Amino acid sequence: MFNLFKSAPKNYQDLDGKAFKTAFTQAGKTELLDVRTSGEFASGTIPGAKNLDVMSSGFATAIAQLDKDKEYFVFCRSGNRSGTACKQLAALGLKAYNLKGGVGAWPR
């Protein structure tokens, strides 16, 4: 009959640290997005990352202005907020990848 609990398919991809880094370094036009707060960003991030706080009031406006020709590699502390951000990016037609496990999963 009806499946009331059926969830929509994910429109972005979760990648573990190694796969995320490999895909990021091999893709053409990319951008690395740290979606943590500015304080978390200031305490340390992946080199080259841009800070766009997913919890800020301006996040939706900021992502609406992103280049649709790029692929976005998104991370936060644990992978939860970046999953939320990826969902919003994908809803706008942007290609997004979530770093499963967060910034600590980035290979050194």
For residue 2, pLDDT over 70 is answered with no
Instruction: Give the catalytic positions in this structure.
Output: 76
What whole-number distance in Å separates Cα of residue 32 and Cα of residue 57?
20
Cβ partners under 8 Å of residue 72, min gap 6: 30, 31, 33, 66, 86, 89, 94, 95, 96, 97
Work out the average pLDDT over 9-26. Answer: 94
Backbone φ and ψ for 74, nearest 5 degrees, come out as -115, 140
The residue among 1 and 41 whose pLDDT is bigger is 41
Cβ partners under 8 Å of residue 7, min gap 6: none
79 in a structural domain: yes
- The CATH number of residue 45's host domain is 3.40.250.10
Specify the pLDDT at position 61: 97
Count structural domains, the chain: 1
1 in a structural domain: no
Specify the pLDDT at position 24: 97
Least trusted range by pLDDT, from 5-19, 21-35, 89-103: 5-19
Tokens of 14: 């979760």
